[in-house]
Amino acid sequence: MNERPSQFWTFSLTVYGEPAVQQECLELQDRHGVDVNLLLFCAFVGAVHGAVLSEEEVRQLAGAVTDWQQNVVRSLRQARRALKPLATDASPIAAPAAALRATVKAMELEAERIEQMILDCWRAARLGVWPRAEPVAAVAGNIRALFAIGAEAMPPPELPMHLLAAALAAAGQVRA
């Protein structure tokens, strides 16, 4: 695709490029079922726009990508993870399995980018009506709202402080 990367995608690559942020995000994904793109979106609109999302808006946002996330992104992630042991063993299929895993990984990344496009379209239609706050408060509030809609039987996780710091640092770069 020859499309120019969106601010959200650029922001996400910058923020997620921090190893401590990756670790936090993957832990939230694996332990708490948090969609990393939703997490990054909450950080993005808070850090870059100072926008504050309500729990209901985060619920609507999650609903906009649920089918895509479950049917496409998670399926590709499961395939990539299932291929890992096959790609690293000493069997004759290791090399082709590794090549297939690399292809699936690229497809997963493209599926994540498409999910972000869905989220960015959702943002563009609503940005003007969201209340504003200082970026640090907006990011923290948005992430708490995301955690609140997913907290059914367990208490919500702690705020991902590395993500919060990286989001605030990246906001200036993305706006420029």
Q: How many CB atoms lie within 10 A of CB 108?
A: 19
pLDDT in tens, 25-80: 999 999 989 999 999 999 999 999 999 999 999 999 999 999 999 999 999 999 99
Q: Which residue has the tokens 């990054």?
A: 40
Q: Confidence class of residue 113 from pLDDT cuts 50, 70 and 90?
A: very high
Question: Cβ distance 94 to 86 under 8 Å?
Answer: yes
Is 123 contained in some domain?
Answer: yes
Amino acid at 118: I
Number of domains in the chain: 1
Q: Please provide the average confidence, as pLDDT, over all residues in the chain.
A: 92
Is 2 contained in some domain?
Answer: no
Of 176, 159, 170, 162, residue with least CA distance to 23: 162
Is 129 contained in some domain?
Answer: yes
pLDDT at 153 over 80: no
> Which domain, by its residues, includes 42?
7-62+115-175
- C-alpha distances out from residue 25 to 16, 22, 126, 157, 161, Å: 8, 5, 26, 11, 11
Is 170 contained in some domain?
Answer: yes
For the segment 121-129, the average pLDDT, to the nearest whole number, is 92
For the segment 8-17, the average pLDDT, to the nearest whole number, is 96
Is 106 contained in some domain?
Answer: no
